[in-house]
């Protein structure tokens, strides 16, 4: 019997037991944002540790941090073979507004083959799948094909304030060859996706100051610089009419898209018309020469997030404004460096600053972009595992946003990151009536189980980034 057949049989037999057990996990209201749930956080961590113990993981510890504890466990008996570090989180989002939930958020219910509960998709359900995949392998084979470590934190929904510290003080304990995270989504129902890159972030606030105070536009207008007009001149200089950013050197370190990547994205047949209808716009707009998918996944951006100055109340006030400001952020792609981009933005602003005003620049928090090469064996292996179970081609995607914790893993542990998500964008994560499609629970268990075998084919050397 092939390992896939064994897994199939095991998961079919155990389905009810597994779902009942997951419901127990989901009944614990482990909301990290609300201090009244401190005890629930502890309960969830203990439930997880207990569950890990039951399936045969070892060296289980509930590691205290300045905030909520991290639950660690491992199985390290595949000597000389690669080690997979699984990251996930046991905390969940708050549940307000409660009256919009059809059933209680912490009373899990299955309707229409969907499991409704806070955390069902994000991320308890997906963490639990990894545990059950391990359980299945140990039960059917007596061992795992590779080494495994688990690092499940309790503060992801509040921005993982203590995880970077934890990673830095536990680099040996967490040493591995690849990191697998199941906390993202698929492309759509029946459309599996491996995410191999995320964008980074850098930004500044620009404050333009002209005269000491607002002036009468009749008395001074035409002879004194208008702070808003000066700001607008700077802001407009950032990009040309075709959407290309004009900051000198902005694209210098951008790793160009590989032909295979462009082909892979094109094969997704992204429906631009559907997006236009969804957003209510008559046209999309982005950097010339790139498709929408390429623009949002693999190209850097410069967005004006906010602008303010002068009179914004009802009607007219003929003021010549003395101050104006804007917030701008850039989404970065490998290998752009956030510090370097801020330096280039600053130089650009200084260069385009009109006369008659001064400009102050304040930096925002920065985040590095991340990419695991598209052709990395761990990425391609994940794609193969999906394809075996879903029987369709896997989408190799990047994410336009930034997941700070992924960047932290990338930076602190320096390992290839594989984002293997099983959620769907329709599943109301962070909103009332969160749910998880059980077909992806069922198929995902098999994908994960298979993935351990896939990775076992490689040497540790093969997996080096």
Q: Which of residues 197-236 bind its own copies (CB under 8 A)?
A: 199, 201, 203, 210-212, 215-226, 228-229, 231-233, 235-236
Q: Which of residues 290-309 bind its own copies (CB under 8 A)?
A: 292-293, 295-296, 299-301, 303-309
Distance, CA of 331 to CA of 15 (rounded, Å): 42
Q: Does 346 bind its own copies (CB under 8 A)?
A: no
Is 230 in contact with 324 (CB distance < 8 Å)?
yes
Q: Residue 268 CB, nearest distance to its own copies (Å)? A: 14
Q: Residue 365 CB, nearest distance to its own copies (Å)? A: 7
Q: Which of residues 316-335 bind its own copies (CB under 8 A)?
A: 316-321, 324-327, 329, 331
81 Cβ partners below 8 Å, 6+ apart? Answer: 145, 146, 147, 456, 460
Q: For its own copies, which is the closer residue by CB, 170 or 244?
A: 244
Residue 208: helix, strand or coil by DSSP? Answer: strand
- CA 221, distance to chain mean position in Å, is 49
Q: Residue 461 CB, nearest distance to its own copies (Å)? A: 34
Stretch that binds its own copies, among 77-85, 107-115, 123-131, 195-203 (CB under 8 A): 195-203
Is 379 in contact with 181 (CB distance < 8 Å)?
no
Distance, CA of 215 to CA of 224 (rounded, Å): 9
Q: For its own copies, which is the closer residue by CB, 14 or 327?
A: 327
Of 332, 367, 373, 334, nearest to 196 by C-alpha is 373
Q: Residue 181 CB, nearest distance to its own copies (Å)? A: 17
Q: Does 281 bind its own copies (CB under 8 A)?
A: yes
Is 31 in contact with 44 (CB distance < 8 Å)?
no
Q: Which two tokens stand for residue 161?
A: 């304030």
Q: Which residues, in sequence order, are bridge partners of residue 21?
A: none
Stretch that binds its own copies, among 100-108, 144-152, 285-293, 336-344 (CB under 8 A): 285-293
Q: Does 46 bind its own copies (CB under 8 A)?
A: no
Q: Which of residues 374-403 bind its own copies (CB under 8 A)?
A: 399-402
Q: Which of residues 112-151 bind its own copies (CB under 8 A)?
A: none
Distance, CA of 257 to CA of 373 (rounded, Å): 11
Q: Does 360 bind its own copies (CB under 8 A)?
A: no
- CA 464, distance to chain mean position in Å, is 22
Q: Residue 419 CB, nearest distance to its own copies (Å)? A: 14
Q: How many residues belong to the site for its own copies (CB under 8 A)? A: 78
Distance, CA of 369 to CA of 208 (rounded, Å): 30
Q: For its own copies, which is the closer residue by CB, 233 or 340?
A: 233
């Amino acid at each position: 019997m092939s390992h896939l057949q064994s897994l199939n049989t095991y998961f079919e037999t155990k389905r009810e037991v597994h779902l009942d057990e997951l419901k127990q996990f989901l009944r614990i209201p482990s909301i990290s944002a609300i201090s009244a749930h401190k005890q629930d956080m502890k309960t969830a961590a203990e439930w997880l540790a207990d569950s890990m113990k039951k399936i045969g993981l070892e060296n289980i510890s509930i590691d205290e941090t300045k905030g909520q504890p991290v639950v660690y466990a491992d199985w390290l008996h595949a000597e000389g073979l690669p080690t997979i570090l699984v990251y996930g989180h046991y905390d969940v989002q708050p549940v307000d507004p409660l009256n919009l939930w059809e059933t209680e958020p912490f009373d899990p219910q299955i309707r229409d083959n969907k499991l409704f509960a806070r955390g069902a998709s994000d991320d308890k359900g997906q963490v639990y799948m990894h545990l059950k995949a391990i359980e299945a392998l140990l039960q059917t084979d007596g061992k795992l094909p590779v080494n495994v470590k688990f690092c499940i934190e309790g503060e992801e929904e509040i921005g993982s304030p203590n995880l970077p510290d934890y990673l830095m003080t536990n680099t040996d304990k967490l040493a591995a060859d690849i990191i697998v995270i199941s906390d993202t989504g698929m492309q759509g129902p029946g459309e599996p996706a491996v995410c191999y890159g995320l964008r980074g972030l850098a930004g500044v606030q620009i404050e333009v100051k002209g005269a000491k105070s607002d002036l009468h536009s009749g008395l001074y207008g035409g002879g004194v610089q208008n702070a808003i007009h000066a700001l607008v001149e700077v802001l407009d200089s950032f990009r040309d009419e075709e959407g290309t950013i004009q900051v000198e050197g902005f694209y210098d370190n951008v790793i160009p898209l590989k032909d295979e990547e462009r082909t892979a994205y094109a094969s997704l047949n992204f429906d631009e018309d559907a997006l236009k209808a969804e957003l209510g716009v008559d046209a999309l707009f982005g950097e010339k020469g790139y498709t929408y998918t390429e623009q949002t996944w693999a190209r850097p951006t410069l967005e004006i997030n906010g602008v303010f100055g002068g009179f914004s109340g009802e009607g007219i006030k003929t003021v010549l404004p003395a101050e104006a400001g804007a917030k701008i952020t850039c989404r970065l792609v490998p290998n752009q460096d956030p510090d370097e981009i801020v330096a280039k933005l600053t130089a650009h602003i200084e260069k385009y600053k009109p006369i008659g005003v001064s400009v102050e620049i304040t930096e925002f928090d920065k985040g590095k972009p991340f990419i695991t090469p598209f052709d990395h064996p761990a990425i391609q292996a994940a794609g193969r595992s999906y394809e075996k179970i879903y029987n369709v081609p896997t989408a190799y995607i990047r994410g336009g946003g930034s997941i700070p914790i992924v960047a932290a893993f990338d930076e602190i542990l320096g390992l290839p990151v594989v984002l293997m998500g099983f959620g769907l964008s329709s599943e109301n994560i962070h909103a009332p009536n969160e749910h998880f499609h059980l077909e992806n629970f069922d198929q995902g268990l098999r994908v994960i189980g298979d993935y351990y075998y896939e990775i076992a084919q490689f040497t540790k050397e093969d997996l080096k980034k």
